[in-house]
Chain A
Amino acid sequence: GQQVMQIPQYQHVQEGEDFTTYCNSSTTLSNIQWYKQRPGGHPVFLIQLVKSGEVKKQKRLTFQFGEAKKNSSLHITATQTTDVGTYFCAGRSVGNEKLTFGTGTRLTIIP
């Protein structure tokens, strides 16, 4: 079945440093979504990428979808304490509507 892996599993950064999480799927995806889950909270939708090679920005967050539509990345510039949480990618394989979540990357910020 489809597997979606994320690396790293954990990331500790000093406030102000950059952060990147990578998402890799075993199958080609029709699209990729990103979610953020704060400690004790529930996943919140951030963005969706659909096109091969697509890049989208939300303030300090940059999302990329790979050319082969099998990988994606989320980059945060100059992290802030409000960025703390676990970031999940989620994708649907081509021809399969089931949304599979990645393993997640937990980001902690050292003030």
Chain B
Amino acid sequence: KAGVTQTPRYLIKTRGQQVTLSCSPISGHRSVSWYQQTPGQGLQFLFEYFSETQRNKGNFPGRFSGRQFSNSRSEMNVSTLELGDSALYLCASSLISGRNSPLHFGNGTRLTVT
């Protein structure tokens, strides 16, 4: 079974631009979560989607948004990029949403904002 696939692997953008990241979950997984990983802040929860609905949201500004499609694939969008948005963005899928579901992470998209 294929793992979680994230595209692209690397991105370089300039301040003020916007970016869209894509995540394809493991086949059969209906929950997709997004995390931002930086050396200083660790793994920060962005949001979780299940059956095309946002279930939970972290403490990020409205510039960060996401969505999930009927095939469970998910995208996240960051508008008006800032230098501090440079990070590794990790997507994780799980079979269901909820407390007993381990997360399966993709390799991430490394975003650099200049």
Give me the interface of A with B, judged by CB distance under 8 Å.
1, 30-31, 33, 35, 41-45, 48, 50, 88, 90, 92, 97-104
Contacts and interface: CB of A to CB of B under 8 A. Distances in A.
Given A42-B105, A43-B103, A104-B43, 14 more contacts: A1-B59, A30-B99, A31-B99, A31-B100, A33-B103, A42-B108, A43-B43, A43-B90, A44-B105, A45-B104, A97-B48, A98-B58, A101-B43, A103-B42
B56 interface: yes
Contacts of A90: 43, 103
Most buried by A among B45, B99, B104, B108: B99
Nearest to B105: A42
Interface string B87-114: 0001010000111101111111000000
Most buried by B among A42, A98, A101: A42
25 contacts: A1-B59, A30-B99, A33-B102, A33-B103, A42-B106, A42-B108, A43-B90, A43-B92, A48-B100, A48-B102, A50-B100, A90-B103, A97-B56, A98-B45, A98-B56, A98-B58, A99-B33, A99-B45, A99-B103, A100-B45, A101-B43, A101-B44, A101-B45, A102-B42, A104-B42
B35 A101 contact: yes
Interface residues of B, number: 24
A33 B33 CA distance: 15
A50 B99 CA distance: 9
B55 interface: yes
B103 A45 contact: yes
Given A98-B56, A101-B42, A45 B90 contact: no
Nearest to B55: A97
Contacts of B35: 101
A87 to B, nearest CB: 12
A43 B56 CA distance: 20
Nearest to A47: B102
